[in-house]
Structure 1
Amino acid sequence: MKTKFWLLPLIVALTLLSACGDEDNTEGSSEEITEDDLDVLEVEFDVPETADVDETIEMEAFVTYGEEAVEDADEVVFEVWEVGNEEDSEMMDSENHGDGTYTAETVFEQDGVYEMYAHTTARTMHTMPKKSVTVGEGAPVDQENADGDGDAEENEFHADGFGMHFVQPDEVNAGEDTELIVYLQMDEEEFEGADVRYEIWNYEVSDQHEWIDAEESESGEYIATHEFPEDGTYYIQIHVEDDDGLHEHEEHEVIINE
């Protein structure tokens, strides 16, 4: 009886110690991963601040993920336009140098202020840092005024800090589901929580415009699926709004095969 009397407190004590140990392990594991530990896709975008007319300049993007140089980015595309004419932007594929560096060259044929994005997709993330170059004498007076006051709905200029990149779909066939993807940024950060809709039409097929709501699949990435009924050239207007009164839009063409 005396042996049993001493065994019971010993078993209780060991049970309590084991429970405390499990709590400590649980608390420790919950603190192992924090937001600071998550790697981020970053791009160092380098272009000269000024250039001469007809001078060839190099655009360089150095892509990293955490502390690792990204040598196999899914996409690095440079988009260049003259301030006030963003709808006439030019897209240029980059050369991959195999060390995280991606470059392309461009020439400016007249004075003005030009802006550019380095659209970069890698590690399931997208970012698009923005730079500007003053060429020759810079922007004429009418160009400077064009980027000032005015109705954004009329001139279709984007608000300061806002960026939009529509992923042009390849080899789209009629009658098949097609993903429509757009990336949004505000002040070079992913633009979250926006209300994004795709307006689609082709007057040779129908006089009606179709409206499709996009869903934010990842931070700043908005996706919708659409089936184009017939072949031909369709127009897609992307509408972006938020609760603070932002309303941006951008139009694109998509060629649909039979």
Structure 2
Amino acid sequence: MKMKKYIGLLMILLVGALAACGNNGEKTDADEEVKALNVDFQLPEHADVGEVVELKAIVTYGDELVKDADKVEFEYWVQGNEKETTTVEGKNNDDGTYTADVTFEADGVYEIYAHTTARMVHIMPKKSITIGEGNATAHEEHGEGHDNHDHSSHVEGFTMHFMKPEDVQVNKEIDLTLHLVMNDEPLEGATVRYQINRDGTEEYAWVDANEPASGEYKGSHSFDKEGTYTIVVHVENDEGLHEHEEYTVEVK
């Protein structure tokens, strides 16, 4: 009889221990929830020529306001003329916001990136602003413009070729493939990341690429919603290279 009581007590203790372990595991998973860097880029949709316009980035990491971002810069250009850009540094207001005041001296539609580096991550949300009467002709000519915002010309001898995916479907994994060349030779050892954003949202996904062959960088991704997505290809290496190109993908 004593042996049965002993075994019963042992079983109760064992069940309790297993339940405690399960609860601790759930707590650990919750505590280790991956945080994401996010930038709420704010600017008016329209302004007059010569008017002071505030560009504002609110930077968060999970639920935390980031008051110590490594760098926030605003890069802008006239739509259709992305070869000539202007970059201004954002002022850190010590409250998670970063601002810059700019004026635009001519009518037009201007594209603006909020380049943000914090917590070892770089993201670059983009918005546009119409100044004065805008410029319908330039806008139409550049209708496919943010399909490929090319910075590769900043480094002589460097080119990148992104094999833009076609016929992309929801929840179907696709390959993201990039080829890099420097001075007519495959560029090896670069760090390549794909920044993916569904247009009109602040939702970002990042895909790190590997290098299965010399100068070829591959990753994969599946889209969980239909819509228009912007893919920004980031390329860096230890020699100071930092380039990016932007593409638009339709997901059906």
Deviation of residue 73 (structure 1)? 0.5
Change in Cα spacing, 1:96 to 1:124, as seen in structure 2 (3 Å) is same
Post-superposition CA distance 1:36-55 (Å, at most 9, x none): 95433222211121112222
Among 2, 5, 8, the residue aligned to 1:10: 5
Unmatched tracts of structure 2, length 5 or more: 156-173, 196-204, 223-229, 242-252
Amino acid at match of 2:186: E
Deviation of residue 138 (structure 1)? 0.5
Normalization by structure 1: what TM-score?
Answer: 0.61
**Distance across 1 between alignment mates of 2:125 and 2:233:** 20
**Distance across 1 between alignment mates of 2:149 and 2:31:** 25
Normalization by structure 2: what TM-score?
Answer: 0.62
In terms of Rg, which structure is larger? Answer: 1
Unmatched tracts of structure 1, length 5 or more: 1-5, 150-156, 170-191, 202-207, 226-236
Q: State the match for 2:160 in structure 1.
A: none
Aligned pairs for 1:182-221 within 5 A: 194-201=176-183, 208-212=184-188, 214=191, 216=193, 220=206
SS at match of 1:53: coil
Q: State the match for 2:42 in structure 1.
A: 46
**Distance across 1 between alignment mates of 2:2 and 2:88:** 79
**Is the counterpart of residue 104 in structure 1 residue 100 in structure 2?**
yes
**Distance across 1 between alignment mates of 2:50 and 2:194:** 42
Identity over aligned residues, as a percent?
32
**Distance across 1 between alignment mates of 2:218 and 2:83:** 16
Post-superposition CA distance 1:118-142 (Å, at most 9, x none): 111222333322211101110142x
SS at match of 1:194: strand
Change in Cα spacing, 1:241 to 1:146, as seen in structure 2 (3 Å) is farther
Say how many residue pairs are matched: 199
What RMSD over aligned residues (CA atoms) do the two structures have, in Å?
4.3
Q: State the match for 1:93 in structure 2.
A: 89
Contact kept in structure 2, 1:118 and 1:129, CA below 8 Å: yes
SS at match of 1:158: helix
Among 109, 122, 128, the residue aligned to 1:113: 109
**Is the counterpart of residue 21 in structure 1 residue 3 in structure 2?**
no
Q: State the match for 1:173 in structure 2.
A: none
Post-superposition CA distance 1:151-195 (Å, at most 9, x none): xxxxxx332xx88899x99xxxxxxxxxxxxxxxxxxxxxx9632
**Distance across 2 between alignment mates of 1:146 and 1:240:** 32
Q: State the match for 1:70 in structure 2.
A: 66
